[in-house]
Structure 1
Amino acid sequence: MSAAPPATGSDPGRSRPASPADLFVSFTVLALQGFGGVLAVVQRELVERKRWLTQEEFVEDWAVAQIMPGPNVVNLSIMIGARWFGLAGAVAAAAGLLALPLLLVLALAAFHARYAGHPAVAGALRGMAAVSAGLIAATGLKLASALARNPVPLPWAAGIAAATFVLLAWLRVPLAWVLPALGALGCALAWRKLR
C-alpha cells in the first residue's frame, strides 16, 4: 500500500487527516454516530465536514467497498486510511471504526437480553429502524448528483439499477449471479464511454 496521498493542490478547500491518530479518532466518532447504518454519516463527515473526499471520490470508493468482501464501511475506512498513511492508516481507521462501538454493542446486547420483552424496547428498535431507512434514502438522493458526471449514460444507469432491484427483490436471484452480470455490463458501458 502506498502512503502517498492524492494531490490536493488543485482544490484549495480540500483537507486531509493530520495523522493516523486523527484517523482513529475521526472514525471512532463517525462509528458512534451511525447506529443501524452509517452511510449517511460517513458521507456527511468525510465529504461535507472534513473534506477528505470529493463527492465523486466518495461514490467511487463506496462502490468499490460494496463489492469487496466484508462490511462496506470497514472496507471504506481501510481504503481511506491506506490512501493517506499506508498500512498504519488502514489499521488506525479500521480500529477506530470497530473498537469502541464493539464495546458499546456488547453492553447493548447484555441490556437487550435482559429487557427484550419490554414493549418500550421493541418500540425504540422499530423507531430506530425507521430513522435508519430515512437516512439511507436521504443519502441516496444526495449522492444522485454524482450520477450526472458518471461515464455510464443516465438511462443505462437507471436501467441497471431497476434490473438489479427486480432480480434481487422480486425474482430472488442470488447476488452472486446478479453482481457479476450487471456489474460487468456497467463496467463495459463505462469503458466504452471513457476510451
Structure 2
Amino acid sequence: MAEAAPSSTVTPTRADLFFGYAKIGLLGFGGVGAWARRVIVEERRWLTERDYAEVLGIGQVLPGPNVGNAAVMIGRRFHGLAGALLATSGIYIGPFCVLMLLAWAYQTYGQMPAVAPFMQGIAAAAAGMVIGMAAKMTSKLRPPPEMIAVGLAACGAAFWWRLPLPLIVAILAPVSIVLAHRRLPPAVRRAA
C-alpha cells in the first residue's frame, strides 16, 4: 500500500503531465528510467520516493515498457483516463519522432565503420544510467537487508544464471512479499 503523499508533493495539471512526460521521453536516450525518477520525484515532486518505487515496481512486472506502464498508472492517479493518455502520449511522442529520424540515418549510414564505436558508447552510457538509478533509489529508500538480498538474488539470477524475467519474478515476488509482510508491526499484520 502506498504511503500517504506528504504535503511536499504537488498535484500536476493535465498539461504538466503531458509536458513533464514529454521532457522525460526526450531526455531518456538509452532508457528513461533515470530521467523519469528525477523529473517525477526530484524536480516536479509529483510522488514521494517510496510511491515512485512502488509504481515502478508494479510497472516492471507487467508486460510492456516499465516507465510506460508507470506513466499510465501515474497519469490515471491524477487525472483518470485522460491523465493516463496524456502521460503516455507525452512520453512517446518525442522519442517516436527522433526514432524515425535515427532509423533513416542508421539505414543510410549504419554500415560505415565509424558508426560502431558510437553505438558501443551509447550502450555503455545506457547501462551506467540504469545502474546509477538503482543505486540512487536504493540509497534513498534504505531497504532492509533481506530486501537487498532479494534484489541481489534477482541480479544474480538474470546475470549469471540467465533466467528469464518472468521466472525470476515468479520465484522472488512471493519471497519478497512474505519478507515485507513479516516486517509489518503485529497489529497491522493481524488486520491484513
TMscore range, shorter length: 0.7 to 0.9
The residue correspondences of 1:72-91 to structure 2 (distance < 5 A) are 72-91=66-85
| Contact 2:30-2:126 within 8 A present in 1 as well | yes
Corresponding residue for residue 16 of structure 1: 11
| Contact 2:28-2:35 within 8 A present in 1 as well | yes
The residue correspondences of 1:114-133 to structure 2 (distance < 5 A) are 114-133=108-127
Task: Give the superposition deviation at 1:138.
Answer: 1.6
Partner amino acid, structure 2, of 1:15: V
Question: Matches of 1:184 and 1:82 in 2, distance apart?
Answer: 27
**Percent of matched pairs sharing the same residue:** 37
Deviation sequence 1:61-87 (CA, Å, 0-9, x none) = 111110011100110110110000000
Partner amino acid, structure 1, of 2:81: L
Tell which deviates more after alignment, 118-127 or 27-36: 118-127
Task: Give the superposition deviation at 1:179.
Answer: 1.0
Corresponding residue for residue 99 of structure 2: 105
Structure 2: runs of 5 or more not aligned: none
| Contact 1:24-1:95 within 8 A present in 2 as well | yes
Relative distance call for 1:187 and 1:78 in structure 2 (3 A) is same
Question: Matches of 2:177 and 2:64 in 1, distance apart?
Answer: 22
TM-score by length of 2: 0.88
**Moved >4 Å (runs of 4+):** none
Structure 1: runs of 5 or more not aligned: 1-5
Match of 2:162 among 163, 172, 176: 172
Relative distance call for 1:184 and 1:75 in structure 2 (3 A) is same
Task: Give the superposition deviation at 1:7.
Answer: 6.5
Tell which deviates more after alignment, 160-169 or 86-95: 160-169
Match of 1:57 among 51, 55, 64: 51
Partner amino acid, structure 2, of 1:181: I
| Contact 2:49-2:141 within 8 A present in 1 as well | no
Aligned length: 183
